[in-house]
DNA sequence: GAATGTGAACTCCTTCACAGCA
DNA sequence: TGCTGTGAAGGAGTTCACATTC
């Protein structure tokens, strides 16, 4: 038995991927100086149903008050803690094409302790260039830089054919969380967390949904 | 009973979101001049299990040969057809910040009939600027341009607070498929297909998976 | 009275085991 | 014999209904 201390065991992965959405919805209420919300209000802001929200939150323990609702500040703290967002998460981006440069500068990445701290590319003609505050480093420097800066998350924004090599280099350097934008299935050792974002696939799915035969369909990770 | 002619009814949405991955895996084999693959080989390339692949393909009808495998060319044609990729899909990108510009130029978007044909932004200081081959148009031009170019898919790459207005404008102009990068839940009428890509959420989930208590976990849309 | 928390039902997806066919 | 195709079993996620608590 591993940890009676941790009240956060076995959270379903579907729930985990909605927690950040709830956190953002809470921030929205906080900026409006709302201090208390019902599951109905919070769910509407997050784009889910109230029962879904309550079931999800129940996995973190009871933090609402029956007949009243949730305290915005308290629930925010609870979610922040559950997601591990009360520390810093240094990020490295590998691949300085259009997408990689945009990600390096993307303001949505610079929230909640995530900070892009290192940039890498394979192409000698761009190494040394500045993107935002950072110099593009060579792949040869990756191991040292990752260790020195304590990089926790590696973002792969290379073409498909170099993504596996990059993943291997990141894992070899000690990175154990990867966000992959290359359209390829990465082979990774046990214990390395990976999320893939596949932009072309999203378009393909939309194309399918919009075919004449299936007008009216509304499937997928929609809204 | 609805349509014995169409062999493509009621494909589970989980299957639909894997079909593009299979198609890409098939392209990979085709470039190596492989003409026949087993479900095991194709599944390995796609990063799924063989039984999953076979079950998914079974929703499209039987296109393999027992004891032999699948014909790469034939299955490619079948998937291309099922996904509706044998036509052109004009795309518009709204929001010309870092991410929008990268998406406008992203080569992964320029595959299989998807072509970025129009760019829009709200900010007068960038309207008229060229990004790639295209001039940034104003939001006021959106309705006309969408109609004239027959835009089928709208990509929203604006900040969260303008995303709903943009979505309304796109839908009002006749767009019925939206790819949303803004971190907000869009309210859309029935019949409008939407997929959301939330970059900050992906980082949050990775942070959760990498917390000390849950080393070893390997959840999510991983690999 | 009002809104949360949760067992149970239900739906959807994945995996298994094997029948069916070249 | 070898590999596909698929009914059935198993597992995961969502929704319902309602007991519970302030």
Cβ-defined contact of A109 to B220 (cutoff 8 Å)? no
Determine how many CB atoms are found less than 10 A away from the CB of residue B82.
20
B58 within some domain: yes
Do both B79 and B175 map to the same domain? no
Do both A110 and A156 map to the same domain? yes
**pLDDT, tens digit (0-9, with 9 covering 90-100), for A48-103:** 999 999 999 999 998 899 999 999 999 999 999 999 999 999 999 999 999 999 99
Residue B173 carries which DSSP code? T
Cβ-defined contact of B176 to A114 (cutoff 8 Å)? no
A152 within some domain: yes
B210 within some domain: no
Cβ-defined contact of A177 to B219 (cutoff 8 Å)? no
Tally of domains within chain A: 2
Residues, CB < 7 Å to strand D: A 12-15, 48-49, 51-52, 55, 65-68; B 37-40, 50-51, 54-55, 57-58, 62-70
Do both B93 and B194 map to the same domain? yes
A216 within some domain: no
Q: Bigger pLDDT: B214 or B64?
A: B64
B2 within some domain: no
**What range defines the domain where residue B74 resides?**
13-83
**pLDDT, tens digit (0-9, with 9 covering 90-100), for B166-201:** 999 999 999 999 999 999 999 999 999 999 999 999
Coil/strand/helix, residue A39:
helix
In chain B, what's the furthest Cα-to-Cα distance? 63
Predicted model pTM: 0.92
B220 within some domain: no
Do both A66 and A153 map to the same domain? no
B205 within some domain: no
- The CATH number of residue B164's host domain is 3.40.50.720
B131 CA to C4 C1' in angstroms comes to 51
What CA–CA distance (Å, rounded) separates B157 from A185? 26
**B2–chain A Cβ distance below 8 A for any pair:** no
Do both A71 and A32 map to the same domain? yes
**pLDDT, tens digit (0-9, with 9 covering 90-100), for B113-127:** 999 999 999 999 999
A209 within some domain: no
- The CATH number of residue A28's host domain is 1.10.10.10
Rounded to 5 degrees, what angle do the CA atoms A26, A31, A35 make?
Answer: 60
Do both A109 and A58 map to the same domain? no
């Amino acid at each position: 038995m591993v940890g009676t201390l941790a009240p956060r065991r076995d959270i379903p992965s579907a729930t985990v991927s909605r927690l950040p959405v709830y956190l953002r919805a809470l921030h929205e209420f906080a900026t409006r100086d709302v201090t208390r919300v019902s599951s109905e209000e919070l769910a509407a802001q997050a784009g889910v149903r109230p029962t879904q929200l309550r079931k999800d939150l129940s996995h973190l323990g009871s933090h609402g008050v029956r007949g009243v609702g949730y305290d915005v500040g308290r629930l925010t703290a609870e979610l922040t803690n559950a997601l591990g967002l009360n520390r810093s998460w240094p990020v490295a981006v590998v691949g300085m094409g259009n997408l990689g440069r945009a990600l390096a500068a993307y303001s949505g990445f610079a929230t909640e302790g995530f900070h892009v701290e290192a940039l890498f590319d394979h192409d000698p003609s761009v190494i040394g260039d500045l993107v935002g505050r950072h110099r593009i480093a060579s792949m040869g420097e990756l191991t040292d830089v990752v260790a020195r800066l304590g990089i926790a998350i590696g973002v792969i924004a290379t073409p498909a054919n170099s993504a596996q090599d990059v993943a291997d280099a990141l894992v070899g350097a000690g990175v154990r969380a990867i966000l992959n934008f290359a359209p390829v299935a990465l082979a990774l050792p046990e214990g390395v967390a990976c999320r893939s974002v596949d932009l072309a696939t999203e378009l393909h799915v939309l194309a399918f949904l919009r075919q004449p035969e299936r007008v009216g369909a509304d499937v997928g990770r929609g809204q």
